[in-house]
Chain A
Amino acid sequence: KAGVTQTPRYLIKTRGQQVTLSCSPISGHRSVSWYQQTPGQGLQFLFEYFSETQRNKGNFPGRFSGRQFSNSRSEMNVSTLELGDSALYLCASSLHRGLYGYTFGSGTRLTVV
């Protein structure tokens, strides 16, 4: 079965712009979580969506937002981009909100210039 699909794979944006990243989970998985990975901070939790509702949110500013659609696909949006937002953004798909594990996508590498 298909894995977790994240698009685009690479993205270059300018400071002040906004960006939308997409994640399609494994078929049947209703939970999608997002993580930011940077060399300095490592892997940090952004938010979790389950059945189209945000269930949990990490310690990130309001410029980071997300949503989940009825087909479980999820998008995350970052507005007013800053240089520090440059990172690998990873999406994780799971059954039962991760109690049995998470499957990660290949990520979207965002570079802000």
Chain B
Amino acid sequence: AQKVTQAQTEISVVEKEDVTLDCVYETRDTTYYLFWYKQPPSGELVFLIRRNSFDEQNEISGRYSWNFQKSTSSFNFTITASQVVDSAVYFCALRSGYTGANSKLTFGKGITLSVRP
């Protein structure tokens, strides 16, 4: 069975602080994909990043960066110099690399990030 754990439920920071959102996953597949989505109050899930299990390179996109470590089954997300517009719920998700029963997204419970001015 696949599982995603986001142990943090709510994080509150002051603008310009750095913040890291943790994600730990479980899977028996050797090929899999990890995702981060952002959900603003409007409800739509906004895609942030996709990472496959064979690519452990860290990625940076502007103020966002991701740290993927297979050894600890973690895929953490850091926002540098946070802004009020970053306030949202953030979901980590896992998808098998194969078609079949696990060809779906398994989501963590989400982390509510509040950035105060």
Cβ of A62 within 8 Å of any chain B Cβ, yes or no, is no
From residue B64, how far is it (CB to closest CB) to chain A in Å?
16
Could you tell me the distance between the alpha carbons of A104 and B39 in the complex, rounded to whole angstroms?
10
Cβ of B72 within 8 Å of any chain A Cβ, yes or no, is no
Is the CB–CB distance between A55 and B44 below 8 Å?
no
Could you tell me the distance between the alpha carbons of A56 and B99 in the complex, rounded to whole angstroms?
9
Is the CB–CB distance between B104 and A45 below 8 Å?
yes
From residue B66, how far is it (CB to closest CB) to chain A in Å?
14
Cβ of B45 within 8 Å of any chain A Cβ, yes or no, is yes
Is the CB–CB distance between B50 and A101 below 8 Å?
yes
- Per-residue CB contact flags for chain A residues 21-62 toward chain B (1 = under 8 Å, else 0) read 000000000000101000000110100100000011010000
From residue B75, how far is it (CB to closest CB) to chain A in Å?
15
Select one of A48, A104, A109 contacting B104, CB under 8 A: A48
Please name the residue on chain A nearest to B95 by beta carbon: A98
Is the CB–CB distance between A97 and B103 below 8 Å?
yes
Number of interface residues of A (CB under 8 A): 24
Q: How many A-B residue pairs have CB under 8 A?
A: 59
The stretch of B12-20, B54-62, B80-88, B105-113 in contact with A is B105-113
Could you tell me the distance between the alpha carbons of A106 and B45 in the complex, rounded to whole angstroms?
7
Given the known interface contacts A43-B91, A55-B99, the answer about A102 and B105 at a Cβ–Cβ threshold of 8 Å is yes
Is the CB–CB distance between A55 and B47 below 8 Å?
no
Is the CB–CB distance between A102 and B33 below 8 Å?
no
- Note all chain A residues with C-beta closer than 8 A to B45: 90, 92, 104
Is the CB–CB distance between A98 and B43 below 8 Å?
no
Cβ of A81 within 8 Å of any chain B Cβ, yes or no, is no
Could you tell me the distance between the alpha carbons of A58 and B108 in the complex, rounded to whole angstroms?
16
- Note all chain B residues with C-beta closer than 8 A to A35: 105, 107
- Note all chain A residues with C-beta closer than 8 A to B109: 42
Is the CB–CB distance between A43 and B107 below 8 Å?
yes
Given the known interface contacts A104-B45, A105-B44, the answer about A99 and B97 at a Cβ–Cβ threshold of 8 Å is yes
Please name the residue on chain B nearest to A104 by beta carbon: B45
Give 11 CB contacts A-B under 8 Å. A33-B105, A43-B93, A48-B104, A55-B103, A90-B43, A92-B45, A98-B103, A98-B105, A99-B95, A102-B105, A106-B44
